[in-house]
A and B are shown apart, each in its own frame.
Chain A
Amino acid sequence: MPVCIKIFGQLTEILESNELILSGVADTNALVSELNKNYPALAGAKYIMAVNKQTISANTELNEDSIVALLPPFSGG
């Protein structure tokens, strides 16, 4: 079940894209460990995660319609 991941800000440099499709991840913890494996620099990055446009703070189940967003803090003004 593919999950769509939208990537923002400087995380696009780490993940080399602003959108990824990932299969075989049942929840956000699995998604993060899968991404960290492929993009080790992500493990040290700060970001919030949203599932279907709701920010989350705990592990969240994903299904094939899920859209995950990874959003780092911006400081510029």
Chain B
Amino acid sequence: MENKISYERYQRQIILSEFGEAGQEKLFHAKVLVVGAGGLGCPVLQYLAAAGVGTIGIVDDDTVALSNLHRQPLYTVLDIGESKAERAAHVLKQMNPEINITAYHQRLTVDNALEIIRSFDIAVDGTDNFSTRYLINDACVLLKKPLVYGAISQFEGQLTIFHPLPNKENRSGVNYRDLFPTPPKEDEVLNCAEAGVLGVLPGIIGTMMANETIKLITGIGEPLINRLLTYNALNNQVYELELAAREATQTLIPANENEFKQMNYEWLCASSPSMMEIDPDAFDDLWRKKAINIIDVREPHELPAIHEFDHLKIPLQQLGKSIPDLNSDTIVVFCQSGNRSKQAATLLSGIFGTDKKIYSLKGGIINWKKQQPVQPT
């Protein structure tokens, strides 16, 4: 065993035969990023630091508030107004000076997520909002990192490990979008501030997340890979679901790091994804009534060619590279069947934010063509 690891500190877990010195060394060499140092993040951080995870990153842009303390026992009243990431790092360093802890007092965004997550082996999601949850999920899929996920609502909690690699049953990896392909609107599901949460619940779920992280690192037991566990604090009922990958998920995740950086996760959550699609009828109404920008994102050779309305031709692959000069505040993108145009709409909304209304033609140009009266040629 290396000198840096204190046998005395970890003696009680090292004497577990399944764990042993080998398990302790695996923890020491592990690098875990915990996103969110709140209700879930506090117990995750406390137990990972105590257990001897050698490198821990803490991402949180929030500051400590009095209303946090009932479920975030890492902090005291003296910390109110201070950075959670920095206060957590300070307390954990006092508790275990043998490990490396880095505080990132910043929000995880498309600009910093890949760089931060890349240097860790495992990410732990203890955030409190859907936009960051989808952002972490997509980043972990792109970087092929396991993601220990946990979330709570009122008296119930859920957790799982989304693992990029097929597990022993030889199924393909599962990610959050296999459960919920697109984010709900922020007002569709209440958060803790609105719905309330029993203080001890994130303590229970966060401790289970720490346990799963330790099992994943050391290889002991049966980590909760691709199985979602729900726990009800009122009646102690536990329910476990097997998760399955869906084929369509792949199309929702940015294809590469550049596409990821063009995503606007806050926008995805702020407006209903179904709003992004427009029916052929509504589309016809729109372009006949006012000047809008229409973009064909198909490749140049794809048929049918469209002459019925003015439009730009920019294949999806080119769209992110050069921003077209668009003079209207409404943009409709279309492709053959409506899938690529959805990606294009997402990409454009990442660029234009809420400055422009961006729609994807539902069912693609094939569907639109079907509804047109036959023209004599």
A-side interface residues toward B, CB under 8 Å? 6, 8-10, 18, 45-46, 48, 50, 53-57, 69, 71-77
Within 8 A of A (CB), among B123-152: 125-130, 133, 150-152
B244 in contact (CB, < 8 A):
yes
**A74–B153 touching, CB < 8 Å:** yes
Known: A46-B180, A55-B179. Contact between A75 and B189, CB under 8 A? Answer: yes
Top 10 nearest A-B pairs (CB, nearest first) are: A74-B151, A77-B128, A76-B192, A74-B153, A76-B152, A77-B40, A50-B241, A77-B126, A46-B184, A54-B242
- CB neighbours (8 Å) of A77 from chain B are 36, 38-41, 125-128, 150-152, 192, 202
Within 8 A of A (CB), among B178-233: 178-180, 184, 188-192, 195, 197, 202, 228, 230, 232
- CB neighbours (8 Å) of A9 from chain B are 153-154, 156
**B41–A74 touching, CB < 8 Å:** no
Cα A49 to Cα B243 with chains together (Å):
11
B129 partner, pick from A46, A56, A75, beta carbons under 8 A: A75
**B230–A76 touching, CB < 8 Å:** no
- CB neighbours (8 Å) of B129 from chain A are 75
**B128–A69 touching, CB < 8 Å:** no
- CB neighbours (8 Å) of B241 from chain A are 50, 53-55, 69, 71
A54 vs chain B, min Cβ distance (A): 5
Known: A73-B180, A76-B197. Contact between A10 and B153, CB under 8 A? Answer: yes
**B153–A75 touching, CB < 8 Å:** yes
Known: A10-B189, A10-B190. Contact between A74 and B156, CB under 8 A? Answer: yes
Cα A71 to Cα B239 with chains together (Å):
11
**A53–B242 touching, CB < 8 Å:** yes
A14 vs chain B, min Cβ distance (A): 12
Q: Which chain B residue lies CB-closest to A57?
A: B246
- CB neighbours (8 Å) of B232 from chain A are 18
Interface size class of B (residues with CB under 8 A): 35 or more
Q: Which chain A residue lies CB-closest to B178?
A: A55
**B151–A76 touching, CB < 8 Å:** yes
- CB neighbours (8 Å) of B128 from chain A are 75-77
- CB neighbours (8 Å) of B244 from chain A are 54-57
Q: Which of B129, B133, B191, B239 has the most CB of A within 10 A?
A: B239
Within 8 A of A (CB), among B52-66: none
B240 in contact (CB, < 8 A):
yes
**B195–A76 touching, CB < 8 Å:** yes
- CB neighbours (8 Å) of B153 from chain A are 9-10, 72, 74-76
**B240–A74 touching, CB < 8 Å:** no
B341 in contact (CB, < 8 A):
no
- CB neighbours (8 Å) of A18 from chain B are 232
- CB neighbours (8 Å) of B246 from chain A are 57
B173 in contact (CB, < 8 A):
no
Within 8 A of A (CB), among B8-41: 36, 38-41
Cα A10 to Cα B36 with chains together (Å):
23
**A73–B152 touching, CB < 8 Å:** no
Cα A10 to Cα B228 with chains together (Å):
17
Known: A10-B153, A46-B180, A48-B179. Contact between A75 and B191, CB under 8 A? Answer: yes
Cα A29 to Cα B128 with chains together (Å):
32
B364 in contact (CB, < 8 A):
no
B350 in contact (CB, < 8 A):
no
- CB neighbours (8 Å) of B188 from chain A are 45-46
A71 vs chain B, min Cβ distance (A): 7
- CB neighbours (8 Å) of A75 from chain B are 128-130, 133, 151, 153, 189, 191
B157 in contact (CB, < 8 A):
yes
**A74–B157 touching, CB < 8 Å:** yes
- CB neighbours (8 Å) of B158 from chain A are 71, 74
- CB neighbours (8 Å) of B126 from chain A are 77
